[in-house]
């Protein structure tokens, strides 16, 4: 498309740019679920800044929070010095967290990105346990910094980078549709947890006495793969029995996305460490680690960083959390998610190329497969990234922004702002169905 902004971006920005390659958009306005490009075209945004815009674009509570800061002349950056804004942010966040976790918990402010907070969490537990190995999962995504890339359970983004954190042991994630044990459901869960226990108990496996385990309750970038509740409960039992701190990365799932305020609540488990970013800043850059007090064993000044004191993000984050709780946006997300899930299942029934529909709340994924090819695991067909990309393109042409994910970029991801209405859900599904039909032809 001829657009001077896109041309200049392609000429000047790093070759590492990612989203603009698949979504060639120069954006000029945003309101709620909608964005407008510089050519005046309007789109429904089902990416929502990779899930960061829980309340969509320019929600009044976020805009008001920013305006209040400006009007009252409050400081924007304060390192880790405290302020009334920060104090309210912490209280509101701790009130959102389940009491069994929040009671006595500690918080570390980390900087602008989710990766910053994952880095801090790993450092925290390594210091506390005096151990090196970290257990992570196949398909995991925890960020793209040098440290977090070592935890990525997917080779492509990291194979060109030498010297990553070496002491990471990858375990199978319960990916039902392509179950590593060849079976899904409860049997897959049992096999997966039995395998993990064996690895931990076998002195020759190399994973004895790890510093921690880190996981996403629903793998996002990895292809929207929700872990079964029973598997999460098993993981909590296994890690608790062995004194292994369990770090739950809620960067993408946190604050209502999955239909509960925190995704780990679906399993009723209490983590040791929770990593938060995206929605916690109300769309502005902020990340934190919240953890049980027994792991607070690092010394004064052990984790510094200039931009730990982003007051603007604390104000917008606090206003966003307050709104989510007051308006029961988590419950709304659960209802809207169920509606979209049902519609996507219906589209699957009429499509030749949808292998699986899955997710939790408003974090849904549709796995695009080649049904003409024989199954490569029992019950599932090979991934079809070319077709997934064609569907994304057809959706964009029809005014719907969708992103792809998964280890083979063959999963269409739905991450709309949590304030999406039932009518908008129906429109999203209708456009998606048209895009699938067009791409299949
Ligand atoms: N963890 C998870 C689960 C994520 O989804 C992401 C970002 N998509 C990150 C960590 C990294 O966050 P950031 O991009 O802000 O570094």
* Structural domain span for residue 359: 4-58+328-440
Segment 240-287, tens digit of pLDDT: 999 999 999 999 999 999 999 999 999 999 999 999 999 999 999 999
Burial class from Cβ neighbours inside 10 Å (0-12, 13-18, 19+) for residue 196 reads buried
In this structure, is residue 35 part of a structural domain? Answer: yes
Q: What are phi and psi of 43, to 5 degrees?
A: -135, 145
User: Would 63 be classed as within a structural domain?
Assistant: no
Point out the ligand 1 atom lying closest to the alpha carbon of residue 140.
3
Task: Please check whether residue 68 lies inside any domain of the structure.
Answer: no
Is the same domain home to 161 and 249?
yes
Q: Model ipTM?
A: 0.99
How would DSSP label each residue in 81-108?
---HHHHHHHHHHHHHS-HHHHTT-EEE
Distance of alpha carbon 90 from alpha carbon 410, whole angstroms: 39
- 245 belongs to a structural domain: yes
pLDDT band with cut points at 50, 70 and 90 for residue 206: confident
Indicate the DSSP class of residue 32. B
CA 277 to centroid of ligand 1, rounded, Å:
8
What is the domain count for the chain? 2
Q: Radius of gyration of the chain from Cα atoms?
A: 21
**pLDDT for the residue 375:** 77
409, 385 in Cβ contact below 8 A?
yes
Q: What is the CATH number of the domain that holds 421?
A: 3.90.1150.10
Q: For ligand 1, what atom is nearest to the CA of residue 115?
A: 16
- On whether the CB atoms of residues 37 and 25 are closer than 8 A, the answer is yes
- Ligand 1 centre to CA of 252 (Å) is 7
- 382 and 398 in a single domain? The answer is yes
Residue where a domain terminates, one of 326, 361, 389: 326
CA of residue 141 to ligand 1 center, whole Å? 7
**Does any domain span residue 270?**
yes
User: How far is C-alpha 120 from the chain's CA centre?
Assistant: 17
pLDDT: which is higher, 185 or 63: 63
Spatial CB neighbours of 428, under 8 Å, sequence gap ≥ 6? 44, 46, 340, 400, 414, 416, 420
Please indicate, yes or no, whether residues 82 and 27 belong to a single structural domain of this protein.
no
Pairing relationship of beta strands 246-249 and 212-215 according to DSSP bridges: parallel
> What ligand 1 atom has the least distance to the C-alpha of 219?
3
Q: Based on the fold, state whether residues 316 and 338 are members of the same structural domain.
A: no
181 alpha carbon to ligand 1 midpoint, in Å? Answer: 28
Q: Are residues 30 and 124 in the same domain?
A: no
| Residue 396, CA distances (Å) to 190, 234, 316, 362, 422 in order | 41, 41, 30, 20, 21
The predicted-structure confidence for 122-153, as pLDDT tens digits, reads as follows: 999 999 999 999 999 999 999 999 999 999 99
In this structure, is residue 410 part of a structural domain? Answer: yes
Instruction: Name the residue at shortest CA distance from atom 1 of ligand 1.
Output: 142
CA distance 367 to 4: 35
Same-domain status, 275 and 382: no
The pTM for the full model equals 0.97
Which residue in the block uniquely carries the two structure tokens 């800044």?
49
Last residue of a domain, one of 326, 353, 382: 326
Ligand 1 pocket test: pick from 278, 313, 365 the residue with the most ligand atoms within 8 Å of its Cβ.
Answer: 278
Q: Is the pLDDT of residue 76 over 80?
A: yes
Residue 125 and residue 84 share a domain: yes
* Same domain, yes or no: 94 and 166: yes
What digits encode the pLDDT tens for the residues 291-317? 999 999 999 999 999 999 999 999 999
187 and 167 part of one domain? yes
Q: Give the binding-site residues of ligand 1, using a 6 Å CB cut-off.
A: 50, 113-115, 118, 141-143, 216, 220-221, 249, 251-252, 277
Report how far ligand 1's centroid is from the alpha carbon of 438 (Å): 32
Instruction: Tell me, in angstroms, the distance from the centre of ligand 1 to residue 401's CA.
Output: 19
Q: Which two tokens stand for residue 37?
A: 């490009």
Is residue 436 domain-shared with residue 314, that is, in the same domain?
no
How many percent of the chain have pLDDT more than 70?
100
Helix or strand holding residue 47 (H, E): none
Edge to edge, the sheet with strand 273-276 lists 106-111, 287-291, 273-276, 246-249, 212-215, 134-137, 168-171
pLDDT, residue 1, reads: 62
Is residue 151 located within the same domain as residue 262?
A: yes
Domain co-membership, 421 together with 286: no
In a domain, 271, yes or no: yes
CATH label of the domain that carries residue 195: 3.40.640.10
Instruction: Give the strands of the sheet with 400-401, arranged side by side.
Output: 27-31, 34-37, 42-45, 400-401
Nearest to 412 by CA among 427, 423, 431, 426: 431
Cα(241) to ligand 1 centroid in Å equals 29
Q: Using one digit for the tens of pLDDT, what is the confidence trace for 91-125?
A: 999 999 999 999 999 999 999 999 999 999 999 99
Which of residues 326, 351, 366 is at a domain's end?
A: 326
Atom of ligand 1 lying closest to residue 113 CA = 15
pLDDT above 90 for 164:
yes
């Amino acid at each position: 498309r001829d657009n001077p902004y896109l041309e200049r971006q392609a000429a000047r920005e790093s070759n590492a740019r990612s989203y603009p390659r698949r979504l060639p958009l120069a954006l000029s306005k945003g309101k709620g679920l909608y964005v407008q490009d510089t050519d005046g075209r309007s789109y429904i945004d089902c990416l929502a800044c990779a899930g960061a815009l829980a309340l969509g674009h320019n929600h009044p509570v976020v805009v008001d929070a920013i305006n209040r800061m400006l009007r009252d002349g409050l400081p924007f950056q304060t390192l880790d010095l405290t302020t009334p804004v920060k104090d309210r942010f912490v209280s509101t966040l701790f009130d959102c967290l389940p009491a069994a976790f929040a009671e006595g918990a500690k918080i570390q402010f980390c900087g602008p990105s989710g990766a910053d907070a994952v880095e801090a969490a790993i450092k925290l537990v390594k210091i506390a346990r005096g151990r090196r190995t970290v257990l992570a999962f196949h398909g995991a995504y925890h960020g793209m910094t040098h440290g977090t890339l070592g935890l990525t359970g997917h080779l492509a983004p990291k194979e060109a980078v030498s010297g990553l954190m070496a002491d990471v042991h990858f375990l199978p994630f319960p990916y039902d549709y392509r179950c590593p044990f060849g079976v899904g459901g409860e049997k897959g869960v049992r096999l997966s947890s039995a395998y993990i226990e064996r690895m931990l108990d076998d002195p020759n496996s190399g994973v004895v006495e790890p510093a921690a385990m880190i996981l996403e309750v629903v793998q996002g970038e990895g292809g929207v793969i929700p872990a079964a509740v029973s598997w999460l409960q098993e993981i909590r039992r296994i890690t608790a029995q062995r004194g292994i701190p369990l770090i739950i990365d809620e960067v993408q799932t946190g604050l209502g996305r999955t239909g509960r305020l925190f995704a780990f609540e679906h399993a009723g488990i209490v983590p040791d460490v929770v990593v938060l970013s995206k929605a916690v800043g109300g769309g502005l850059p902020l990340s934190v680690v919240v953890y049980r007090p027994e792991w607070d064993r690092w010394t004064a000044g052990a984790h510094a960083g200039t931009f730990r004191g982003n007051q603007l993000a604390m104000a917008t984050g606090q206003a966003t959390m307050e709104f989510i709780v007051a308006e029961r946006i988590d419950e709304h997300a659960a209802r809207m998610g169920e509606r979209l899930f049902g519609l996507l299942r219906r589209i699957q029934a009429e499509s030749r190329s949808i292998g699986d529909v899955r997710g939790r709340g408003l974090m849904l994924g549709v796995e695009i497969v080649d049904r003409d090819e024989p199954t490569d695991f029992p019950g599932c067909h090979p991934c079809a990234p070319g077709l997934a990309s064609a569907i994304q393109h057809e959706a964009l042409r029809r005014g719907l922004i969708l992103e792809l994910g998964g280890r083979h970029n063959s999963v269409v991801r739905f991450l709309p702002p949590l304030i999406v209405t039932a009518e908008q859900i129906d429109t999203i599904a209708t456009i998606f169905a048209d895009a699938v039909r067009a791409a299949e032809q």
